[in-house]
Amino acid sequence: MIKPHGSDSLNPLYVDDAQQRSALQAEAENLPSILLNSAAAANAVMLGGGYFNPLTGYMNLADALSTSEKMQTVDGLFFPVPVVNLTDETGIEAGSRIALRDPNVDGNPVLAIMDVEAVEQVSDEQMTFMAEKIFRTLDEKHPGVATFTGLGRTLLSGPIQVLNFSYFQADFPDTFRTAVEIREEIAEHGWEKVVAFQTRNPMHRAHEELCRMAMEQLDADGILIHMLLGKLKPGDIPADVRDASIRKMVEVYFPPNTVMVTGYGFDMLYAGPREAVLHAVFRQNCGCTHLIVGRDHAGVGDYYGGFDAQTIFDEEVPEGALELEIFKADHTAYSKKLNKVVMMKDAPDHDKDDFVLLSGTAVREMLGKGIAPPPEFSRPEVAKILSDYYQALDAKAS
């Protein structure tokens, strides 16, 4: 199986030994504590699950600035974005041991214990520098920029021990998986070549066929459909609805034992190209050999060019930095001429009218009225789940 990023074996920070974990939970009750923001909590969950391998905790300011600028730490480890614990909490001192409390679970239970190696103040200039490098914009209307610049100016760095996976295991018991668990399941399947598909949305016909195309062209053993389960921007479809629709699609339209439907506990950054590279790190740590990167991967609005998330791998990711390879995909749609879904670049003789193309707004309006989109666009079983959701949403609003 493909090696994890940066090490020969995966080193998740979750304390797997029940006795040790219980002792740490008892210790945490007597430690000073801080309430994390959702971004720092998501980072802890990802560190716990092995997705951020080989990191041992939150980055210090030098590493945060370095990864923002050139996608590597001061010591030369390739990493596409800073993994930080930014806070407004005061009174924390370097050398202290503290409990990190979960902002996303009632009662704010302890999520992790941290050995604080440094407490550093981040200047407005440094925050601006990092935001511009990560997101390629400083527009506060960009949801990632707004979140990042609002996290606080005190940076706590140091190793952590993760005690649980927040709300993800309880809310998504059949879907949430750590990188460790995904590696184990890939090994159980006996898969060697595995293609990952990242999604924060339901999957329509084009997405389904894109997975099938990648699997066939790469002669892959299986597909990992890996959905984000954390916080999104307002208006995005909730994780439980996406989960149900994707599972139905796989159940009906894919052969048994060819697809793993899983999810991970992270808040969306909407960082476009940088987040695409981060997604590649995640999937290599999961044991995948390939990641599908399509148009405007992990983007939002008009902040990124259609293929910026692909060209970053050619232009900015150093050769050999990742073992995982990218499957580059164009916009995919149903061809009326060919009666099948194709990548638009593979149909140069087509005009726009030769494809079944619907805007997200148009689909949303149809589903809200109980009208199924054409089967060339969305499988009827998937459309039914989404229609029920939108109709309930509209009924609640009225």
Of 396, 153, 200, 192, nearest in space to 298 by CA: 200
* The dihedral sign for the CA sequence 276, 277, 279, 283: positive
Residue found by looking up tokens 């018991």 in the block: 173
Distance CA 256, CA 361 (A): 34
| List 153, 200, 212, 364, catalytic entry | 200
Going by DSSP bridges, is the β-strand pair 355-356/259-264 parallel, antiparallel, or unpaired? unpaired
For residue 360, which phi and psi values (nearest 5 degrees)?
-60, -35
**Taking the CA of residue 278 as centre, how many other CA atoms within 13 Å lie in the half-sphere pointing to its CB?**
24
Burial class (CB in 10 A: 0-12, 13-18, 19+), 196: buried
| List 108, 201, 212, 364, catalytic entry | 201
**Taking the CA of residue 167 as centre, how many other CA atoms within 13 Å lie in the half-sphere pointing to its CB?**
17
Per the annotation, the verdict on 242 as an active-site residue is no
221 strand-pairing partners? none
Per the annotation, the verdict on 201 as an active-site residue is yes
> Known catalytic residues?
200-201
